[in-house]
Amino acid sequence: MEVLLQWVPVVLVAAFGVFLVWRDPRRMPPGLVLTGVVFFLLGRLLSELVHLAENLDPELGAVWVLVAFMGVALMAVVVLGVFLIWNTFEMLRKEGRRPAALLTGAIGALLLAYVVAAVLGVLLNSFELTVWLMFAGLPLGYIGFVFAAFLIYSSIYGWATRRFGKPVGAVVVLGAGLFGGERVSPLLAARLDLGMELYERSRAAGLETVLVPSGGRGADEKLAEAEAMGNYLREKGVPNQHILLEDRSTDTRENLEYSAEVIRRAGVGEDVAVATNSYHAFRAATLMRDAGVPGYAVGSPTARYYWPSATVREFIAILRDNLVVNAVIVGVLCLPFLVRVGSLFLGQR
């Protein structure tokens, strides 16, 4: 009975997370709650392994389990850091110098530096260095947890919408930069092909579905992205009367807001499917919710070398979209570190 009572709070929290998903999956809180439950279950698993090891070897069993756990965790961080740095060089080779690629490499280098500092702290038996790493680890741990929740939940959301997305009255295809300022790029073509797939599925279900290519004209483009996208769709056989252009937007938020206006004027069904790339689908869904657009977002496959950098960029955008909350939490978690710095500074004066 006592064991069952210990699990009641976990079950209630998990049920709350499922309720949040049912109410509206296009938000981060459900992902944070459910990821927290997963982390708790992993912690309980580790606790059970330690307890089992203590029974087998009362003196060193638990120590070896904890050492093995820490070793695996450090190796995972090292592998991630090396991968991010390697991916940066891949991005630079295939895409040229871009801030997003350099940012990914910087994050990888930061992870490796943290691991090296942690190992040095243990080898040198440095209490001072360990304290600094613990304080710095508080905000970093929060960012890491939110990033894990973003990866897990956005992946589940993307899979679910591809698998269970219902027929809709309109399919909005989000624009992207044009090759040579006038031609649809492979990345944009993947979005358009997915949009046509959703359009044909909805038409087959008996709905008068329309396609809404969405994207304005950039400074380096010869025509609006929506116009180039419309040309691509017509070449693929989509009737012109089924294509409604939205050619004013300059970012995803405007894509959705202006497309909603076009859809309302056309008088088609309210539910909307937004076609974009896999790394961008979840954030597009959150912006749909903010814009009051009912429906869901679906992602097309993304080149493997491009996915890590694009995912990091999307995660930073998610943090920015919820800037106040994240800034307050990170600020509070930075207080021990700042207090430590302040005490050292005052002590030197």
Q: Which region among 49-58, 121-130, 240-249, 285-294 has the lowest average model confidence (pLDDT)? A: 49-58
259 pLDDT band, cuts 50/70/90, is very high
The structure tokens listed for 276 are: 């974009």
302 pLDDT band, cuts 50/70/90, is confident
Q: From CA 303, how far away is CA 177, in angstroms rounded?
A: 16
For position 316, what pLDDT does the model report? Answer: 92
Q: Are 138 and 333 in contact (CB under 8 A)?
A: yes
SS3 for 221? coil
pLDDT digits (tens, 9 = 90+) for 215-226: 988 777 788 899
- One-letter amino acid identity for 174? L
H-run or E-run covering 91:
helix 61-95
> pTM for the complete prediction?
0.88
How crowded is the C-beta side of 158, counted as CA atoms within 13 Å? 20
Beta bridge partners of 174: 214
Q: From CA 289, how far away is CA 252, in angstroms rounded?
A: 12
H-run or E-run covering 306:
none
Q: What is the DSSP letter of 240?
A: G
Beta bridge partners of 213: 173
95: pLDDT strictly greater than 80 = no
H-type helices in 292-322, by residue range? 307-321
Q: Which residue has the higher pLDDT, 201 or 129?
A: 201
Q: What is the DSSP letter of 251?
A: S
pLDDT digits (tens, 9 = 90+) for 138-177: 898 899 999 999 999 999 999 999 999 899 999 999 988 8
Which of 264, 342, 262, 256 is CA-nearest to residue 297?
Answer: 256
Q: Are 14 and 36 in contact (CB under 8 A)?
A: no
CATH number of 166-302: 3.40.50.620
The structure tokens listed for 2 are: 């006592």
Domains of the chain by residue range: 2-162, 166-302
H-type helices in 124-236, by residue range? 127-164, 186-204, 225-235
**Residues of the chain by 3-state class (helix, strand, coil), percent to 5:** 70, 5, 20
Beta bridge partners of 295: 272
SS3 for 143? helix
Neighbours of 121 (CB within 10 A): 18
Beta bridge partners of 211: 171, 243
SS3 for 201? helix
Q: From CA 103, how far away is CA 84, in angstroms rounded?
A: 9
SS3 for 272? strand
60 pLDDT band, cuts 50/70/90, is low
Phi/psi at 173 (5° precision): -105, 120
- How far from chain centre, in Å, is Cα 248? 26
